[in-house]
Amino acid sequence: MSLAIAPQVVFEVVGGEAVLLNLESGTYYQLTDVGSRIWQLLEQGETSEDGLRERLLGEYDVSGDQLQADLEALLGDLLAAGLLTRSDARPS
């Protein structure tokens, strides 16, 4: 499955934190530290959950199980808020 930033979302990184705005709902969101890094990777074209996991395991001192649980939780929240979309298409 492929992840993408939803077209109705604008964002800015301020002081290392990502501030997101869903233009459809008018709701602001803030991501700190690792959440901001995940957002940056998504913006740079990392579209798979496995790809995100591998990159983050190389950058942070965390167990694979803990990272997987945290990543699934954050991606679930971002999808539920309409900030990300998910498709069955494989990234090219």
User: Where are the domains positioned within the chain?
Assistant: 2-82
Task: Fill in the DSSP letter of residue 91.
Answer: P
> How large is the average pLDDT for residues 15-28?
91
Residue pLDDT, tens place only, 23-72: 999 999 999 889 999 999 999 999 999 999 999 999 999 999 999 999 99
With cut-offs at 50, 70 and 90, classify the pLDDT of residue 87: confident
Do residues 2 and 48 lie in contact, with contact meaning Cβ atoms separated by under 8 Å? yes
Fold of 2-82: Outer Surface Protein A; domain 3 (3.90.930)
Residue tagged 């991501």 (tokens): 31
**Closest by alpha carbon to 6, among 34, 43, 40?**
43
User: Span 80-87, mean pLDDT?
Assistant: 93
pTM metric for this prediction? 0.87
Question: Looking at residue 17, what is its pLDDT?
Answer: 86
- pLDDT recorded at residue 37: 92
